């Protein structure tokens, strides 16, 4: 298959909503929005008695409630253990803030990504034992820590696990394990750890007759940030949680989240995209570049830590950009089904970012491995249609450990097994996807005329927020248009700005295609509202483009319409 757009992407038109199947009458803005909501299985006006998941659905929550209450009454020493990513950090912050409201100062730990790797380890348990902990709460981890939790029990520590990761057949013998997979007849979208922690905090507060508490907005915003960052499906209770958390985040006027929001350039309404691309990377930068405790302390109000986060995030951007350039130069001219790179210059904190960027650019699974003492720690990203964790399971005889989800995973293995592992995965990918699948692609929701992009449509699309996993921001195909008033913008003039049918269009990082704008183009755009100068006008955000009138139509295997260049 030929490359399809000027950025080398394959375009897939999921369903053309502009024309009904029975007639050629154009759909109204309201009909387009309603159809999108119906296709995604969401309701624009979803409501619930609970923001997020009701803690009472967890069978062991009553026992958790009473055990925590007893620990506080007896002034027991309480430990909290989380993870080094945004979900684990926000989860830990939620639990710490709850106990501090009750006058309890818990001991807390997060694993160091580089020196300790993911998860609860024996030495962590020994640290809590030495500190005299009698109750340990793990968040975003612990569901598979059979031996570690057994060690804690032997020392007289009760362990409560709040987790959402894949559960293995053997469960740890905890005091209680709160996990969405253990909820009977559960049909809702599963929360991340921050969603579970938020539900527990709300349940604990309500058990004491508290419906709202001081600075509840910060706790709600923390739960939403963790949910967006961890890419769980934004439907059902997750959708309600994120929707309310974004409202809360926008209204916070002081404190660490207000600091992060301002420094991230977020003014006015906050969106899930803002959180995913501006706030979450700042929190993740601590674990990637230094110590995740910096991010946790920042969320708990440490001003020095907040300033340090800004510095670490800038360092991350520079470092990853440099390594990505080197990685692109090292790739062969003909790519195998799976991209695989290893380098001693790659730290465990940035391998996931590099893998994500290469998979996004080339549309094929990627494995990036760091090297230390003849041992590899790798992060993997994949494409729709290939379950990367299942692929690792089929190669587990070559691995020390592995885990993850359908499109993101991690593993550890001996350096001398790198070639054997990548050869095995290359064969596995080739057996399960077609050559046409190994192209970067954009899924388009509908084709529109430029004049169809009205303020009413943009407002309707905005009502489908929050966007994220399971509810991506809609993309539209605008065929055969000429751009006007084209110019480069931005500090380094890397962005493209123009007008389409009188409407403002901005393409971030698209300035290199300025020459192509002298002829008719097909555009893939998202829509939004431009509020510059105090007025409200429809605006288009350019995601991709190609020369118009060079189309060839063919049916994709899933019967959606695939749009491609002529060979």
Q: What is the pLDDT of residues 484-524, one digit of tens each?
A: 999 999 989 999 999 999 999 999 999 999 999 999 999 99
Pairing of strands 484-489, 495-500: antiparallel
Please indicate, yes or no, if residue 123 is contained in any of the structural domains: yes
Domain final residue pick, 434, 469, 494? 434
Same domain, 223 and 294: yes
The total of structural domains in the chain comes to 3
Whether the Cβ atoms of residue 382 and residue 407 lie closer than 8 Å to each other: yes
Q: Is the dihedral of CA 135, 53, 87, 190 positive or negative?
A: positive
* Spatial separation of the C-alpha atoms in residues 448 and 451, rounded to whole Å: 8
- Residue 14 main-chain phi, psi, to 5 deg: -60, -45
Quote the tokens at residue 63: 């026992």
Same domain, 136 and 216: yes
Same domain, 136 and 237: yes
At residue 22, the pLDDT reads 45
* pLDDT, mean over the chain: 90
pTM: predicted TM-score of the whole model, two decimal places: 0.88
* Spatial separation of the C-alpha atoms in residues 76 and 219, rounded to whole Å: 24
At residue 345, the pLDDT reads 92
Pairing of strands 551-555, 561-565: antiparallel
Q: Which domain holds residue 241?
A: 58-307
Same domain, 86 and 221: yes
Same domain, 360 and 387: yes
562 has a pLDDT exceeding 60: no
Please indicate, yes or no, if residue 16 is contained in any of the structural domains: yes
Same domain, 200 and 247: yes
Name, in order, each residue with C-beta under 8 angstroms of 174's C-beta and a sequence gap of 6 or more: 142, 149, 159, 160, 161
Please indicate, yes or no, if residue 301 is contained in any of the structural domains: yes
At residue 49, the pLDDT reads 72
Same domain, 176 and 268: yes
CATH number of the domain that residue 76 is part of: 3.90.1640.30
Same domain, 239 and 218: yes
- Residue 90 main-chain phi, psi, to 5 deg: -65, -35
Quote the tokens at residue 43: 């309701």
At residue 479, the pLDDT reads 92
Same domain, 421 and 455: no
């Amino acid at each position: 298959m030929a490359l399809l757009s000027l950025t080398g992407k394959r375009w897939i038109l999921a369903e053309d909503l502009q024309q009904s199947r029975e007639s050629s009458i154009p759909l109204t803005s309201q009909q387009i929005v309603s159809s999108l909501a119906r296709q995604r299985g969401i309701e624009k006006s979803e409501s619930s008695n609970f923001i997020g998941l009701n803690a009472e659905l967890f069978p062991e929550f009553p026992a958790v409630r009473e055990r925590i209450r007893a620990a506080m009454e007896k002034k027991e020493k309480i430990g909290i253990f989380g993870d080094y990513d945004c979900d684990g950090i926000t989860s830990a912050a939620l639990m710490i803030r709850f106990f501090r409201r009750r006058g309890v100062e818990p001991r807390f730990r997060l694993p160091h990504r580089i020196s300790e790797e993911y998860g609860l380890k024996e030495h962590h348990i020994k640290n809590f034992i030495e500190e005299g902990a009698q109750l340990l709460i793990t968040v975003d981890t612990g569901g598979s820590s059979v031996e570690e939790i057994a060690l804690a029990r032997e020392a007289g520590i009760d362990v409560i696990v709040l987790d959402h990761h894949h559960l293995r057949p053997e469960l740890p013998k905890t005091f209680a394990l709160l996990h969405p997979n253990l909820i009977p007849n559960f049909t809702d979208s599963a929360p991340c750890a921050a969603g579970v922690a938020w539900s527990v905090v709300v349940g604990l507060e309500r058990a004491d007759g508290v419906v709202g508490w001081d600075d509840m907005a910060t706790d709600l915003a923390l739960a939403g940030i963790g949910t967006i960052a961890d890419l769980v499906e934004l439907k059902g209770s997750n959708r309600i949680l994120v929707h309310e958390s974004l409202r809360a985040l926008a209204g916070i006027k002081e404190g660490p989240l207000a600091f992060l929001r301002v420094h991230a350039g977020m003014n006015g309404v906050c969106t899930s995209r803002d959180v995913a691309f501006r706030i979450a990377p700042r929190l993740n930068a601590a674990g990637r570049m230094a110590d995740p405790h910096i991010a946790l302390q920042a969320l708990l109000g440490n001003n020095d830590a907040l300033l340090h986060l800004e510095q670490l995030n800038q360092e991350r951007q520079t470092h990853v950009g440099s390594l990505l350039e080197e990685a692109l130069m090292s790739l062969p001219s003909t790519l195998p089904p799976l991209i695989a790179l290893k380098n001693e210059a790659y730290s465990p904190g940035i391998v996931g970012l590099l893998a994500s960027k290469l998979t996004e650019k080339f549309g094929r699974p990627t494995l990036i491995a760091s090297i230390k003492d003849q041992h590899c720690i790798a992060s993997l990203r994949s494409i729709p249609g290939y379950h990367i964790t299942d692929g690792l399971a089929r190669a587990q005889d070559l691995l020390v450990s592995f885990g993850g989800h359908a499109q993101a995973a991690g593993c550890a293995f001996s350096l001398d097994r790198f070639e054997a592992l990548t050869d095995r995965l290359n064969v596995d990918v080739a057996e399960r996807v077609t050559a046409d699948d190994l192209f970067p692609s954009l899924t388009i929701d509908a084709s529109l005329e430029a004049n169809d992009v009205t303020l009413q449509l943009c407002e309707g699309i905005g009502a489908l927020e929050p966007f994220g996993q399971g509810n991506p921001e809609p993309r539209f195909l605008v065929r055969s248009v000429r751009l006007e008033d084209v110019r480069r913008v931005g500090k380094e003039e890397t962005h493209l700005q123009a007008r389409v049918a009188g409407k403002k269009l901005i393409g971030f990082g698209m300035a290199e295609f300025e020459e192509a704008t002298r002829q008719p183009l097909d555009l893939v755009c998202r829509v939004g509202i431009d509020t510059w100068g105090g007025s409200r006008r429809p605006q288009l955000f350019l995601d991709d483009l190609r020369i118009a009138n060079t189309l060839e139509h063919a049916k994709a295997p899933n019967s959606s319409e695939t749009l491609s260049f002529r060979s």
